[in-house]
Structure 1
Amino acid sequence: MSADHDYDEEETATPGPAWLGPKASEHEVVTRSRAGKGLSMRSLVPNAITAAALCSGLTSILFAIAGQWDKAVFAMIIAGVLDGMDGRIARLLKAQSRFGAELDSLADSASFGMAPALVLYLWSLAEVPRFGWLAALAYAICCALRLARFNAQIDVDDQPHKLAGFLTGVPAPMGAGFAFMPMYLWLATDEDVFREPWLVGPWLVFVALLMVSNLATPSWKSLRPSPSLKLFVLVLAGLTVGGLLIETWWTLVLIGVVYSALIVWTLFRYAKVRRQQRVDKAAADKSETVTPPEGRKPLAVDEVEQQLAQDRDP
């Protein structure tokens, strides 16, 4: 291995301080870091993408202050796309670092927690400042708590959702996309009802609870299509991009509805997995045989009945 590498290509990290990021998903197996080497040149690429995602997410606040709501949404979408790229590029380049892990978490908290809360407050919730600010705070805090829970559970082996191939709670980028659903509908229809703070506030709190919930939610691992459906997925991806270019807001609403349906599907699928796990455990317990004490032969059926009769009649 050359001297400028700060990782071991073959060795994976054991649970503990050696776990790295940013990760492409919560299921990624990462390489081991060699502390004290600093950032390698190749690690600058994914970290630069993370920084760009942070800048894009925070710039949405600037557009919101100027009342340019469509640009605020586009800035948030760009932040989500960049956030999905940084971990995968880090893995492809084998450029993961502890610095990248910390930067990624902080960037997600700012881009998908604080920024959406402020944008939605300026767009709608400012009309009822006390209630609106509490709703915005609830969302920002829950987003930070979700990211903290993920970081804290990296070392935990007993994670039922992860072992079954699912996530726990709605991820921060999808939570931000969900939070903007009333704005998508308002931009698509120009109906002021979708801007009502008494609708936006409860919706924002609901999304916040989804992020910190213990619900099983879909992951990329659980959504891998079968070989027969891969061409269909390519067509669907192309149509989605076309829809975003032609009917941006309705396409975003449709994406939100599809993701909601996937959450419901995941709940039923996870319940089925848990039932199967209980059945397998019960069958394994039943198959275990009790060995007789050492030096004693197993009794035949008639000998067992005779022994029971003797125990009943002293």
Structure 2
Amino acid sequence: MALGGDRLRRRRLRREHINQLLPNALTMLGLCAGLTAIRFALEDSWNIAIFLVAGAALMDTLDGRIARLMGGPTEFGGQLDSLVDGIAFGVAPVFMIYIWSLQNAGGIGWSIALLYPVCCVLRLARFNVSSAGTSTPMWATSFFSGVPAPAGAGLLLLPLIIFAETNWDWLQSPWLTGPWSLMVAILMISRIPTWSFKRLRVPSKFVTVAMAGIAFLAAAMFTEPRLTLAGIIISYVLTIPFSIRTYRRLKVTED
């Protein structure tokens, strides 16, 4: 019986290791995508660089969901995820914007470029502390405090995405990208409540509609990838006023 019990425990441990490996492997893929985006930015291959950052965002969405499905995220996985987010969504996007536009503003452009990853890292540190701190009401877990790192990367890259589609030269001006980068950095460290789509639950009666929407979005991404990506980012921005209103209403209801 003892030998049989030992075998069972070893199998269970192996299964747990595999369950931890897959989410962390996706996290590392996101890191590789972010770093490779820097390489293609150096070659002015903006389309590839943009979609590598988008791929990193997809990996960031999947790793947490898979970790929860396979027994819950580990402390190691959570810390690894934050470190990867700092590189993939803090360093890589602003490096792209700097090479594409901000370097034309000299030292001021570099100062602005430095501020964005600093704010991104501060935002991630605040998130880690809040996650490990006191428990929050159930309704509050549906919101982030400030714009999350992947969304911040998308917002920062929005002028570059539109430029890649339209070739409008005015989008490359540091007079536009500088203030835009500052605004995104401030949004990341702000206390503005934004929806956490990772915790989104679709009611059963809307599952068919949601599936059709996902299929349409996938088709659009294959046919008009840059326009679709820009549309997703702009749609996210439009949800912020509604998330603020919903958060305030729920807070008043709780009080």
| Partner deviation per Cα, 1:197-245 (whole Å, 9 max, x = no partner) | 1111111111111111111101136743444433222222111111111
Amino acid paired to 1:136: A
Within-5 A mapping of 1:3-22: 3-4=9-10, 5=12
**For residue 40 of structure 1, what is the aligned residue in structure 2?**
17
Offset of residue 126 of structure 1:
0.7
Structure 1 gaps, min length 5: 7-38, 279-314
1:153 to 127, 130, 142: 130
SS of equivalent to 1:154: helix
Q: Which moved more, 1:106-115 or 1:83-92?
A: 83-92
**For residue 289 of structure 1, what is the aligned residue in structure 2?**
none
Q: Are residue 249 (structure 1) and residue 217 (structure 2) matched?
A: no
TM-score (norm 1): 0.73
Within-5 A mapping of 1:1-314: 2-4=8-10, 5=12, 40-94=17-71, 96-157=73-134, 159=136, 163=140, 165-220=142-197, 223-278=200-255
CA contact (8 A) 2:65 2:198 kept: no
- Give the aligned CA root-mean-square deviation in angstroms: 2.2
More helix by share: 2
CA distance in 2, matches of 1:162, 1:275: 12
CA contact (8 A) 2:139 2:250 kept: no
Structure 2 gaps, min length 5: none
Amino acid paired to 1:3: R
Q: Which moved more, 1:252-261 or 1:85-94?
A: 85-94
CA distance in 1, matches of 2:113, 2:248: 33
CA distance in 2, matches of 1:46, 1:226: 26
Offset of residue 43 of structure 1:
1.9
CA distance in 1, matches of 2:138, 2:164: 36
Larger Rg: 1
CA distance in 2, matches of 1:161, 1:183: 38
Aligned structure 1 segments of 4 or more residues deviating by more than 4 angstroms: 158-162
**For residue 32 of structure 1, what is the aligned residue in structure 2?**
none
Offset of residue 87 of structure 1:
1.9
User: How many residue pairs are counted as aligned between the two chains?
Assistant: 247
Tell which has more relative contact order, 1 or 2 (C-alpha 8 A, sep 6+): 2
CA distance in 2, matches of 1:239, 1:205: 34
CA contact (8 A) 2:61 2:198 kept: no
**For residue 296 of structure 1, what is the aligned residue in structure 2?**
none
Distance change (3 Å), C-alpha of 1:66 and 1:233: same
Amino acid paired to 2:66: I
CA distance in 1, matches of 2:179, 2:138: 27
Amino acid paired to 1:94: G
Offset of residue 147 of structure 1:
0.8
CA contact (8 A) 2:37 2:50 kept: yes
CA contact (8 A) 2:31 2:84 kept: yes
Offset of residue 166 of structure 1:
1.5
> Identity rate of aligned residues, in percent?
37
| Partner deviation per Cα, 1:97-132 (whole Å, 9 max, x = no partner) | 332222211111011001111111001111012121
Offset of residue 249 of structure 1:
1.5
Offset of residue 94 of structure 1:
2.4
CA distance in 1, matches of 2:118, 2:243: 26
